[in-house]
Structure 1
Amino acid sequence: MIRESNCSRPLRSVSRRLSFTCLLLLSIVTAPACADPDQPLAAVESPAPPTSVVKLIFIHHSTGANWLADGHGNLGVALAYNNYFVSDTNYGWGPGGIGNRTDIPDWLEWFRGAQTPTIMAALNAESRQHCTYTRTVPDPGGPNAIIVFKSCFPNSALQGSASDPPSPVVGLTVGHAKFVYNQLLLHFQAHPEQLFVVITAPPLSDPTHAANARAFNRWLVDDWLNTNGYTLRNVAVFDFYNVLTSNGGNADTNDLGSALGNHHRWRNGSVEHMTDGGADVLAYPTGDDHPSPAGNRKATGEFVPLLNLFYHRWLDGGATAVEEPRPSTRASRLVGIAPNPFNPQTTIRYALPVGGPARLAVFDVAGRLIRTLVDGTMPEGGHEVTWDGRDAVGREVPSGSYLARLEFGGKAEVARMGLVR
């Protein structure tokens, strides 16, 4: 079956024979302004790399280390070529050795536990390597903007039934896995300044629980965000499991670029999620269930363009980050930001349901106030204000991601924008 990911929308058409190398060299296309000020801006999606260096941290264990490694999965090198400064966590990392615990039930300790503020502070500040891969771009400074996290292959042995509903009962089951990921959305929703990328657990060679693993990962890609009504664009899923369930004939030959097989990729103008072109078990076995280099390289080839796509969706989130009610329903909203990314200036449009005190300010991704653009009583209706990429004293701020925050009626909405100098 070929599925279009629930978070994908039609993309600008690109030649079917465009090579992976060419994809990495595509320039960013920005969204035009909307003619109707009461409608969200339409964003043009792109799998091109970010135009400035973005900090990313990958939470993983041994399979992730192989995927990152030069000469194995080559993910670290590929991410560097795409303008990501990559750091990672591994066994023994972090407060209380939290890096040892990356099974699905453990994500509650990372993102929803009593120590979450301490863990996140350490994670956001981390800039070291905890396994071997080449980094070719400089550290741009600041916190990690993207958090990528993955459980290892034992987490594909999910017990229960494929259709089980979410369950708070702790265990490696389909029901509890759904419960965990639903809970994580509470943290992700509170942090629109970061992009969270879920990597599904790789498959096992043992078929005993393969149908459950397949069903759960389809749920993650196709249903998780929709069933929770999650409309922010700071959460994405890459189906690592699915990519590793078909090969090019044997474990040392992959089917990257093939029209057949199982894939999760950007192809022919859309996100393609093909899940019935292979089996439900590991197609790249080694001496155990760690994927072979061929499998990891297929995953790299399909993941990196999707990561770029996820990044641009998140960066453009100010246009359609949350499907807010129209002003007639008594809700304020950020209508759109255009151009985005921008240089030298951009226009931020917002709407108020009634007149009253409003504040619109620009922050960096670390939460530092850059400039207040609006602070006073504003009339009902649509408004717009221009930001010229300068701080409160008129100094140009550097290239990077910034947050527009609208406060009105005791509520706040945040949208992301990118400055490219």
Structure 2
Amino acid sequence: ERKLRNRGFLRLEAKALLQSFLKYYGQEPPSTGALAGIISDMDTGAPLAHTSVRVMPLDTTLATDGYGNGLYVLADLSPGLYEVSAVDSLHEPASDTVSVRRGEFDFLDFRLVPVTPPVVQVAYPQDGAENVPVQTSLAFRFSRPMDPLSVEQGLTLDPPVRGRWKWSDDSRQVVFTPRTRFAFDTEYLLTLTDACTDRYGHPLDGDGDGQPGGNLRIRFHTASLDTARPEVIDFSPAREDTGVVSGQILWVLFNKRLDSTAINDDAVLVLSHRGIRLPVSVQYTEQVIDSARGLLGGRLAVLFLRNLERGMGYKVAVMKSLRDLSGNELENYFRWNFYASSVPFYPVTLDDFAADTLAWSLMVEGDSSFVNPDSTALELAHGVACGDSVYGRLRYRFEVPGSVLLIRREKPAVWLPEKVARGEILMLAVNGDGSRNTVRFVFRDADGEEFSRGEPLDWRGWKTVKVTVGDTLIPGPGGNGRADGDSLLFVGLRLEQTGGPAGEIGLDNLVLLARSPATVVLWHDRERTDRAPVEFKLAPNWPNPFRSATEIKFWVGPGAVGREGVLEILNLLGQQVATLWRGQATEGWHRFTWDGRDGSGQDLPSGIYFARLTVGGQVQIGRLVLLR
């Protein structure tokens, strides 16, 4: 009915009826075309009445009707290119060009942006809210699509809280979720400043005066800690964390000590995105959660017994059957999600601390009297470790405040692979002692020593300490805070006395998460050849790169004569594709030709391959490039 009141719409219908008759009788279409469109509000989608429409170069002005259609119609236009502008005092003007065709109906709609500033329509929590759960999320709904970056930068919380943002509904709605939780019994001031803008650059009307600008302030108070029941007060990885890697230890901290008899491997449930349960090992320790009042809490360390699937999501549920020493159970299940890293990492175990002897030594920075030698030692120990029952146990006692104990890899030192890719991760499991002393990774580059950012030992039980190669470094002796040069040498750890004077920590599973599978092959080669004198030499192949064939030669010394050996070709995944020689080694030079085929005689594709020579358990490796 509303459309029938619009004369332009009626003319459009009449023209459509005329053209259908002309087409039916095989007649030429009219020499003119038609242009129509609907003008609506960007925020609400409602049609706009009496909006001025100007068409150039005709210099014709018309208006949308007042019947709620938002419709404008030009039923007879000569074919050609036109510029159409829509102007309304309550909206930003808009214009566009359209090509009108003979005998056709062309359409050009406009959605006009209101000149009024955006506002927050709904906010949670509301101003003055009390007893807000510490696990809550902040939520806002805006009157129009916002610029997400401006909102994320324009929101402040006092005290500060780190978290993640999730936008929806075409950037009209956002949820801010703390990485772990808000603090208990704390008043927060949330401020959305006028730096927040909509998608079109209009500042937020935060104070509700109808004008752009002004801050929106919300004060809320979180709930107090329930001392009658055990409650989760911290956990890792954080909610929605997207960088979790295989081997990383998950942990959960409680406000009270737990009944250890109620804890087993079923206390924490981890489900994959397909609903498959991951096998885990759950370990329990007690930890100081308030040193001023001497309060102890319970801590669960959860070790994954299966690798995570790259980029996939996982759900964690802490069972509510857990109870404190008085028999009080958790009120509800505690749940959160995380995601395995989507980056393709290839793990290289540098030290699992399961060998007969430790490849580490202790040194004191400065005067040796700074550390008590009788109470300081690094040794292999048996007990609850990560994956086996053996780990490295470090007992220490500082005699002088601020002292530093160096835990160094013995020679030959461990080199991270040449031209190490930024983003590779060095990871170590540490059984903390709650001393609040600081542990750091130590590297050496072309300039000197560089340190990773410190990790305070404020926990008890196993936890993963990791550093991303290329992250912000702290300059050590001769260093400059940057990873310079083609190689980075990992030389050990620093234990800095920033807390208690004495303690005991555990070390296990030092792992490099490499970015290339070739690193795995090269690393295992280097680890093996470091253990014994070299009795043979694999020479570079020639030519390299090659197309049809390349010669691979190696030399065997007197000490390797009679040992079993094999010369193999591996692909980038470390898989064997061909065997060139197998037998007992004889002294002198040996030459073999590889024609770029696998063991069945099939041509292999272009790419990088490796020649791996093994003699008497020792390995050397060379890099080959095949170009087809």
Query: Normalised by the size of structure 1, how large is the TM-score?
Result: 0.37
From the two aligned structures, give the one with the greater helix fraction. Answer: 1
From the two aligned structures, give the one with the greater strand fraction. Answer: 2
Query: Normalised by the size of structure 2, how large is the TM-score?
Result: 0.27
User: Which has the higher relative contact order, 1 or 2, with Cα contacts under 8 A spaced 6 or more apart?
Assistant: 1
Which has more radius of gyration? 2
